[in-house]
Amino acid sequence: MLNTLYPAARAILFKLEAEKAHHLSMTGLRLMEQTGILSICTTPPKNKPVTLAGITFPNPVGLAAGLDKEANTIDALGRLGFGHVEVGTLTPKPQPGNDSPRLFRLPEHQALINRMGFNNPGIESGIENATSSRSFKGVIGINIGKNKDTPNAQALDDYAVAFEKAYPHADYVTANFSSPNTPGLRDLQSSETAARLLETLKAIQAKHQRYVPIALKVAPDLREDEITQLSKVFVDGGLDLLIATNTTLSREAVAGHLHAEEAGGLSGSPLTQQATEIISSFHSKMGPTVPIIGAGGIFNAEDALAKREAGASLVQLYTGFIYRGPALVHEIIEAW
């Protein structure tokens, strides 16, 4: 039922300012879950398990980080069919993010531009929210990052703090070092810094009896030589999962649009091919050693299957989910 109602709901939501619509829809989902309405008007997805990094995902479709920034809507989102939900990005200290407006729709291009800036309640509150999840039986990923006011020279300390706090409560943890909306963050993608970040996280991982896989999320704007260098770092360093990709700084595909020059990361259909090519390039260099979760411009089953053909073992949705709703989740699972 919800699948058929979503286009009408989207038409109403798209009349509102983008961030207000986001908060309204997330609040609505939580209320529908708490009152049992959501369970009545949704259909459980087919069980198509995929095992990666020692984790069995109920199905190949997950929700990318950035939608549930506070980790307080996991049960409701899981009810929509996602096999895994990645929450955050969560930073060691709470932070408000960048000034509003900071989220823009480009409907003609089926795209979004955001410069949210890791707005979140902080890792401790985020973990408290995430652990209050009750009905969701799928996989929970926790996405972590550094605070805006932490210099890059101390960035690894932020990741270590957040990773240590997230570790006992996550099925996997993603270090987001590729958002374009925290100044200087993408500088951490240099092979030398990435190696030190991975080494730091692996050292913490080794101290624990329970093994929680480490994922890193990369940008779609990497050059081929950077992909080659990072691939070696990831293989040599024992990375468990790679998420490819984050949003792009490119504006070529949306040139001339009213919001084209807004600062921030572009996501959606303009990113489809670019993200798929990045997945293919990483996969060609790492093979099956580091499994890839594909993200970026997935709007139908064909887009998802193209990511799989390029080397992704799972996919994540964000912008496609905003435009198409839960029907997209079920469509991809059916076709996988």
Enzyme catalytic residues: 179
Does the bond joining 245 to the residue before it have cis omega, within 30 degrees of 0? yes
Residue 317's φ and ψ, nearest 5 degrees, are -115, 150
Does the bond joining 89 to the residue before it have cis omega, within 30 degrees of 0? yes
Going by C-alpha positions, the residue among 305, 288, 298, 286 that lies closest to residue 328 is 298
Q: Across 19-138, where does the E strand assignment appear?
A: 50-52, 55-57, 61-63, 84-90, 103-106, 111-114
Which tokens hold the place of 196? Answer: 């030190």
281-315 in b/e burial notation, b at 16+ Cβ within 10 A?
bbbebbeeebbbbbbbbbbebebbbbbbebbbbbb
Q: HSE on the CB side for 191, CA within 13 Å? A: 14
